[in-house]
Structures are given as C-alpha cells and as structure tokens.
Amino acid sequence: MLYMYKYYVMKNIWITGASRGIGYSTAQLFLEMGHRVIILTRNTQAVEGLSALYPETLYICTTDLLALEKSEYPDYPVDILINNAGALVNRPFSDITKEDLMKVYGTNVFGPIQLIQNLMPKFSSDAHIVNISSVGGVTGSVKFPGLSAYSSSKGAMTILTECLQAEFGDSTSWSFNCLALGAVQTEMLEEAFPGYVAPIDAAAMAAYICGFALNNHRVMRGRVVEVTMSTP
C-alpha cells in the first residue's frame, strides 16, 4: 500500500472523526507507520481495536470538541491536525430545522474552529493543519438537492482554510490546507446517495491523506485541493 513505511521521525498527529470511514483508516495507517496518533472522539468503543494494537502510540481523547477545555488535552505537540469529523443531513431545504443546522455546522465548522483555537499553543513550529472538506463545498462544483446544509458548511471550511493561512502565514511557519474530497465509499456517502457505489474506498483515500499531511506542507500553503474521481 502507498506510504506504508516507518518514518524515522515520529510525528504527533491529531485526528477528529476517526471512529469510522476515512478517519479510522487514516488513523490506522499513521499508527502502522509508527507515528503517535491522538484521536478526538466521543465513540471510544469504535476505536478499541486500534487501542489494543497500539497501546503506546495511540491516545484517545473522549469528549465533545465544543465543550473541551484547553487543560483537558493530552500533553503532546501538534505536528499535524486533521479536521476530519463530519455530519450530514439529507433533507430538502424547506424542511431543514435549526437543530439540523446546529448539528451540521456544529460538527463541520464550529468544532474545527474551536479545536484550532484551543490547540494553537501546542502547534509545532511547522505544524500542518489539514481540513477535510467536500467537492460540494467548492465554488463552481456540481451541487445536489437535499445537501444544502452539508455543502454550505463544507464551503465554510474551504474559505476558513484560506483565511487562516492569510492570517498566520507571515508570522508563523504553519501551513493550512484543505482537501475537498469527492465520492468515497463510506457510511456518509450512503446517507447522501443511497445505493451509489464510489470508485474509491476509505483505505485508498486514507493513503492519499497521510501522504499529503506528511509532505505537502513543504510545497503548498493555504490551498484547497480537489481530490475526486466522481462527484458522484
């Protein structure tokens, strides 16, 4: 598999949304490489298998990101932060409720913003922050009925990435990049497009994300990169 080798320098990699799908596969691959992984999740049961396999290099932080105090984070630096957690509501615009919006925007926008603010004191000198967005959140891409809350929230993350790089790019060596993913075979894809079969699975996308997170901050900063074979 691509990028399946151990790095000589262990990185401290923080990941949200790692209880399933792309996030789980990404965390697993980083652990196989020999890095330390800090998973931020409320679903600890879903990652118990990884914890048993990697007791010395996996740390599970279990709480709601929006409720977490700075003092509650583990005492590791942030070399890489992958904001992967996502929530989706597939519903006609006229039927979307305030609760729907709070669910989607809370997970996809407010949570990452809060997390970045809280973790900034832990950022290493060349920290790489990778925001996972969607092709549906990119201007000019194909849009689909029922996904207005989801796509607009992901659009917010693409713009936030550019804004953060503009704000911190001159005063720090931090890199903020965004991956706008197309269709990947996950539970969330099934929620959005029932019955659709994507041309790429979570493990393959995880391999790409791992390589990007480890290397691409050396050649790009403040970029929104579309990673897609179908939309869908």
CB neighbours of 204 closer than 8 A, spacing ≥ 6? none
DSSP annotation of 39 reads E
Question: 54, 150, 196, 208: which one is catalytic?
Answer: 150
The whole-angstrom separation of Cα 133 and Cα 99 is 21
- Bridge-based pairing state of the strands 123-134 and 78-83: parallel
Contact 153, 109 (CB under 8 A): yes
| C-alpha distances in Å from residue 176, one per residue of 27, 37, 135, 162 | 19, 19, 18, 7
What's the full length of the chain, in residues?
A: 232
Residue carrying the six token digits 């994507």: 198
Beta bridge partners of 227: 181
Is 3 one of the annotated active-site residues of the chain? no
3-state DSSP assignment of residue 56: coil
Please list the active-site residues.
150
